[in-house]
C-alpha cells in the first residue's frame, strides 16, 4: 500500500496555506477542495485587515491563493470527504464522495463552517426569494429596496455596510444592545446614515407573497411584537462547523468544533485548522497562520514515523 504524506481537506486560507508550506517542505500534499473551493471567504466582499492588502475582495484573495497552490504542482481534487478511518497498517483512509479512497500518513482538516439558520417560519419558504446568507451574492438585487441584516458580529456589520451601497435603507437587528464587532468596524457602521440599529430584538417570522415583504419582530425586553416592511433579509448569526464526518473519530466541543492544541487533535496524526477548530478567531490571517503551523507539525510527524 502506497500512502501519501498528507491529505489536506478544505481549500480556504487555512487549507491552501498548509498545502503551500507542505509542498515547499517536500511533503507532496494532496488537497480535497470540496464543492466550493475557497471556503466562506469567497463570499466576503471587502477584506481590510489582511496584511499586504489595504482592501481586497475575498474572492480575489482566494483566487490568488489557489493560483499559488496550483503553481507548485499540488494535486487538487474537487470532491468532499464522507468519512475518515484508520487502516490496519496505521494509516488514514479518506473516503471521497465519488466512493474512491485515498490513504495517507496524516490528515489536515480545514473544512471550515457553514452559516447558521434562524429556524423560524418563512426562512425555508423564502430562501433565495428574499432570504439570503450572502450579501455579496445577493446584495445587488436589493438596489433601492429596504432590507434587514440579522446579527451583531463582524460579519453582520460588514454585510450591513456593503448592502447600504445598494439598498435605500438597512436595518441591523440584534438580540442584544451591544454589538460584538470590532470597534473600528462599529464606528464606521454608526456613521452610516443609511443604517439603523434595532436593538434587543429577534425576528420570529418572515412573511410575503412571491418574495419577502415583511418580518415579525419580538422585543426581547418587554416581549412586545412589531413588524417591519422590508424586501430582503440577510442572516449573519454565526456558523456551524463542518465536522460531522469526524464526530466518531475526534474530540469535539459542545458546539461540534474540533478540539485541537497547536493544530494537534485527539487522534495522533490528524491535525485541524481554521474555522472548524474550537476557539478559532474566524479571521483569514489566523487561519493562514494555523495552516503554516500545521505543515510543520505534519513534517515532524512524518519524519518521526519514518
Last residue of a domain, one of 209, 235, 261: 235
Report the alpha-carbon distance of residue 189 to residue 197 in Å, rounded: 9
CATH of the domain at 189: 3.50.50.60
CB 166 within 8 A of CB 187: no
**pTM, rounded to two decimals:** 0.81
- Tell me: do 130 and 205 sit in the same domain: yes
User: How do the pLDDT tens digits run along the chain, 306 residues long?
Assistant: 578 999 999 999 999 999 999 999 999 999 999 988 888 888 787 888 899 999 999 999 999 999 999 999 999 999 999 999 999 989 999 999 999 999 999 999 999 998 899 999 999 999 889 999 988 778 888 999 999 999 999 989 999 999 999 999 999 999 999 999 999 999 999 999 999 999 999 999 999 999 999 999 999 999 999 999 999 999 999 889 999 999 999 999 999 999 999 999 999 999 999 999 999 988 899 999 999 999 999 999 999 865
pLDDT at res. 306:
54
pLDDT at res. 289:
97
Report the alpha-carbon distance of residue 14 to residue 21 in Å, rounded: 11
- Tell me: do 53 and 150 sit in the same domain: no
For CA atoms 140, 146, 149, 150, the dihedral sign is negative
The range of the structural domain enclosing residue 192 comes to 117-235
Last residue of a domain, one of 183, 215, 235: 235
Q: Which residues are annotated as catalytic? A: 134, 137-138
Question: For residue 62, which of 80, 79, 45, 37 has the smallest C-alpha distance?
Answer: 37
- Tell me: do 74 and 183 sit in the same domain: no
- Tell me: do 288 and 179 sit in the same domain: no
- Tell me: do 226 and 156 sit in the same domain: yes
What is the total count of domains within the chain?
Answer: 2
- Tell me: do 129 and 208 sit in the same domain: yes
Per DSSP, the chain holds a count of helices (H) and strands (E) of 6, 17
Q: Is 203 helix (H, G, I), strand (E, B) or coil?
A: strand
Report the alpha-carbon distance of residue 297 to residue 271 in Å, rounded: 8
- Tell me: do 95 and 32 sit in the same domain: yes
- Tell me: do 80 and 149 sit in the same domain: no
Amino acid at each position: 500500500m502506497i500512502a501519501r504524506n498528507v491529505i489536506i481537506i478544505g481549500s480556504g486560507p487555512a487549507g491552501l496555506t498548509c498545502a503551500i508550506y507542505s509542498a515547499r517542505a517536500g511533503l507532496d500534499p494532496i488537497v480535497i477542495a470540496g464543492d466550493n473551493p475557497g471556503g466562506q471567504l469567497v463570499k466576503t466582499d471587502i477584506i481590510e485587515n489582511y496584511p499586504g492588502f489595504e482592501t481586497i475582495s475575498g474572492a480575489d484573495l482566494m483566487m490568488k491563493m489557489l493560483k499559488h497552490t496550483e503553481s507548485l504542482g499540488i494535486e487538487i481534487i474537487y470532491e468532499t470527504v464522507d468519512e475518515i478511518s484508520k487502516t490496519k497498517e496505521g494509516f488514514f483512509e479518506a473516503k471521497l464522495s465519488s466512493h474512491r479512497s485515498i490513504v495517507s500518513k496524516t490528515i489536515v482538516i480545514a473544512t471550515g463552517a457553514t452559516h447558521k439558520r434562524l429556524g423560524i417560519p418563512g426562512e425555508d419558504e423564502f430562501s433565495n426569494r428574499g432570504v439570503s446568507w450572502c450579501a455579496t451574492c445577493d446584495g445587488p438585487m436589493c438596489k433601492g429596496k429596504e432590507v434587514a441584516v440579522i446579527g451583531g458580529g463582524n460579519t453582520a456589520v460588514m454585510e450591513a455596510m456593503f448592502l447600504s451601497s445598494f439598498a435605500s435603507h438597512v436595518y441591523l437587528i440584534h438580540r442584544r444592545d451591544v454589538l460584538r464587532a470590532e470597534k473600528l468596524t462599529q464606528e464606521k457602521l454608526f456613521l452610516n446614515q443609511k443604517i439603523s440599529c434595532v436593538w434587543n430584538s429577534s425576528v420570529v417570522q418572515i412573511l410575503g407573497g412571491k418574495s419577502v415583504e415583511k418580518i415579525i419582530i419580538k422585543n426581547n425586553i418587554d416581549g412586545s411584537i412589531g413588524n417591519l416592511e422590508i424586501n430582503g433579509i440577510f442572516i449573519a448569526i454565526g456558523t456551524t462547523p463542518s465536522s460531522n464526518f469526524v464526530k466518531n473519530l475526534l474530540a469535539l466541543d459542545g458546539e461540534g468544533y474540533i478540539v485541537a492544541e497547536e493544530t494537534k487533535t485527539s487522534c495522533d496524526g490528524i491535525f485541524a485548522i481554521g474555522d472548524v477548530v474550537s476557539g478559532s478567531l474566524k479571521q483569514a490571517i489566523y487561519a493562514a497562520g494555523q495552516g503554516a503551523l500545521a505543515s510543520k507539525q505534519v513534517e515532524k510527524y512524518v519524519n518521526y514515523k519514518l
